[in-house]
Structure 1
């Protein structure tokens, strides 16, 4: 069972509906028993970094998520803010992140006529042959809404990139820990492909 973590932030219903549409069993829950029983975990998120970490801590699920991800090695997919929280921190705030991936998140520098946040459709370039992006090409388009982007300490953790004034990390993966900066639940057939790849790992 894939469990989408409900800690009060994220497009929970949209993620659940897309996974069901492509034939995968999925639940949405903030109950510790359901998280413990999950075979795969999706950590969604929209909003600010510090608020996301504060809500995750107040949910009482932090220890369980650390156990599932770091000790039991259950596949985890962070989406948007959920991906950013996988890192050690963000320039958006002062709260420490989960620290499951080395690196931190930084703000886009406005300029060259580009507005911040980066919002809308953008092409993704898969990197390092990660199975999360299996079957995708440089013509795959995804929907983004974000002002901050991740900088991985290890380039091997970069699973996909996109460009917005600069090349930035759009997907990450290290073992069972994965994340996408875009919203697969809003990205039609390309988003379905990413969620299906995750479900089949």
Structure 2
């Protein structure tokens, strides 16, 4: 029986590329998966895996999530209460934190303690680097540390677009970083939770490998 993958739509844009990437990752790896964009709490209660993408501003994505009746409560019930594997992508990953500081202070879901703060990247001579951090950048991590990174190699590149970064309270929740004027959180994970700061659906074969790993992951 195909596992049911719910891609939550907080109203932040077209999620077709995320769905297509998951479908390709499943097909290429012979994983039976039904991937569906959802906005209803009832769909989350039937899901075997839950994905929260997001793009744009933290506050707008949080408002979009709150505007879906019962969805935040269903996420708490399924993800926190029942341990359903969860993947946050880009702003969806940031929403896993305690709060975001974009356009004022906005509470996150509070699942992994940390603050999403504005980046201030500097070059070796102290000059500011352009924001957003946009484009391909290498991942730095300890190999074989987490199932989502199975088969991915340190130095593999993924596609970033962001001006705010996750600052975790506990460094152990950060399982991969990238370098942009210093280390920047790229992947967070704790228990059945994983979050990717980059656009995994735009990250080519490396991204597809991570999505397949998520579909296989049994936390």
Q: TM-score, normalised by structure 2?
A: 0.88
The offset of 1:196, in angstroms, is: 0.5
C-alpha separation between the residues in 2 aligned to 1:151 and 1:109? 13
SS in 1 for 2:106: coil
1:99-145 CA-to-partner distances (Å, cap 9, x unmatched) read 00011111111433510110000001124701111111123110000
The offset of 1:10, in angstroms, is: 4.4
1:40-66 CA-to-partner distances (Å, cap 9, x unmatched) read 000000011111111101112111111
1:28-81 CA-to-partner distances (Å, cap 9, x unmatched) read 111221111001000000011111111101112111111111101111100000
C-alpha separation between the residues in 1 aligned to 2:106 and 2:165? 16
Pick from 34, 39, 46 the counterpart of residue 43 of structure 2: 34
Pick from 60, 67, 73 the counterpart of residue 83 of structure 2: 73
Q: Does the CA-based 8 Å contact 1:5-1:43 persist in structure 2?
A: yes
Query: Is there any run of 5+ residues in structure 1 with no aligned partner, and where?
Result: none
Question: Are 1:87 and 2:103 matched, yes or no?
Answer: no
**Range moving further from structure 2, 186-195 or 3-12:** 3-12
C-alpha RMSD of matched pairs (Å): 1.3
Alignment of 1:148-163 (within 5 A): 148-163=164-179
Q: Match of 2:107?
A: 96
Q: Does the CA-based 8 Å contact 2:175-2:187 persist in structure 1?
A: yes
Q: Does the CA-based 8 Å contact 2:142-2:154 persist in structure 1?
A: no
C-alpha separation between the residues in 2 aligned to 1:34 and 1:127? 36
**Range moving further from structure 2, 42-51 or 1-10:** 1-10
Question: Are 1:15 and 2:18 matched, yes or no?
Answer: yes
C-alpha separation between the residues in 1 aligned to 2:158 and 2:14? 16
Query: Is there any run of 5+ residues in structure 2 with no aligned partner, and where?
Result: 28-32
Q: Does the CA-based 8 Å contact 2:177-2:187 persist in structure 1?
A: yes
Runs of 4+ in 1 over 6 A off after TM superposition: none
Q: Match of 2:132?
A: 117
1:148-175 CA-to-partner distances (Å, cap 9, x unmatched) read 1111111111111100001011000000
The offset of 1:11, in angstroms, is: 4.5
Q: TM-score, normalised by structure 1?
A: 0.96
Distance 1:47 1:84, change over 3 A: same
C-alpha separation between the residues in 1 aligned to 2:14 and 2:140? 24
